Amino acid sequence: MRKVLVTGGTKGIGASIALYLRDSGYDVVICARTGDADFRCDVTNRSQVEEMQKSIGDLDILINNAGGIHTSPFLKITEEDWDRHFNLNLKSILYCTQAFLPGMLERKWGRIINIASTAGKIGGRYLAAYVSSKHAVIGLTRSLALEVADQGVTVNAVCPSFVDTPMLRESADQIAMKIGRNVDQIMEGFRKMNPQKRFVDPLEVAHAVKFLIENASVNGQAISLCGGETS
């Protein structure tokens, strides 16, 4: 049975991935800072990640899902805002991947899947820090994929557009307060950005993750789940 770690796996996209893979027969371990996690771990803290690796042992599959978003007009982005995005959305991937990749390389089999966003391919108003961090996630994905391509490990990213999760509603609340609009109007604007005029279901992201686990020839890709908004 393949062992999987899902970071940030207690809610939203991460919870859907974890549940779906468990139902599909994988041995799934969830880590998060809050909620009903198998391991409490702040993945922006290298020492905590290293301790988690010692407890879990080797993995077959790493799902780097932990992430976050804070909306702000560009001129109001603080250094703290910027660092928070890059620590959670990018540095967490560095720490977790450096912790678990060696075991995959030793066994010559592994899957690393980074949950990115269509924001890693296009821009977005009030999202400069988030967009920048997700572009970096895709760059990391493509570079590492080439580095390990002949060693039995694949590295890919899944890039959903707006997904129907509590985090999306929180983002809409932030924008609504800052620009003086109704939160339902913001949510409707998000929905209409998808050419299919709908939000992505978290389970669709889980399906894409399972596809990437089971297909050894797919490597270095950033697969969009967005109804045609971007390639």
- pLDDT for position 166: 76
- pLDDT for position 185: 80
Angle of the 183-193 helix axis to the 166-179 helix axis, nearest 10: 120
pTM (predicted TM-score): 0.93
Domain 3-162+201-225 bears CATH identifier 3.40.50.720: yes
Could you read off the pLDDT of 19-33 as tens digits, one per residue?
Answer: 999 999 999 999 999
List of the chain residues with pLDDT < 50: none
Q: Phi, psi at residue 44, to the nearest 5°?
A: -90, 5
**C-beta neighbour count of 59 within 10 angstroms:** 23
Note if 126 is an active site residue: no
Give the C-alpha separation, 73 to 142, whole Å: 29
- Domain coordinates in residue numbering, the chain: 3-162+201-225
Give the C-alpha separation, 221 to 194, whole Å: 21
- pLDDT for position 164: 80
**77, two tokens:** 């982005």
Angle of the 128-147 helix axis to the 79-86 helix axis, nearest 10: 30
* Cα distance from N-terminal residue to C-terminal residue, the chain: 34
- pLDDT for position 96: 98
**C-beta neighbour count of 76 within 10 angstroms:** 9
- Sequence length of the chain is 231
The active-site residue out of 26, 95, 126, 130 is 130
The label of the residue with tokens 């089971």 reads 214
- pLDDT for position 102: 98
Angle of the 12-23 helix axis to the 202-214 helix axis, nearest 10: 50
Give the C-alpha separation, 135 to 53, whole Å: 27
